Amino acid sequence: MCLEADRARPDVVRLCGERYPSGDDMYPTYVLVTVAGAIGACVVAGVAVGVRRRSRSEPAR
């Protein structure tokens, strides 16, 4: 995924190379930061659950 920003409008970004007849699809920066943060939180939670399950399944020594 590639994002472009405009110096004149730093509060919005768009996907690189996306050109539509009705104009470019532009997204507020905070929306993309929120989506990226949510994805990151899900990844961290998944790894934590996987590590916890793996440590529980090993027999005590």
Domain ranges within the chain, ordered by starting residue? 3-57
**Eight-state DSSP code of residue 58:** S
* pTM given for the model: 0.53
Q: Quick one: pLDDT band at residue 2, thresholds 50, 70, 90? A: confident
Give 51's contacts (C-beta < 8 A, 6+ positions apart). Answer: none
Q: For position 47, what pLDDT does the model report?
A: 93
What is the Cα–Cα distance from 46 to 52, expressed in whole angstroms? 10
pLDDT digits (tens, 9 = 90+) for 14-51: 766 656 555 556 677 788 888 889 999 999 999 999 88
Nearest Cα neighbor of 25 from 10, 36, 11, 15 is 15
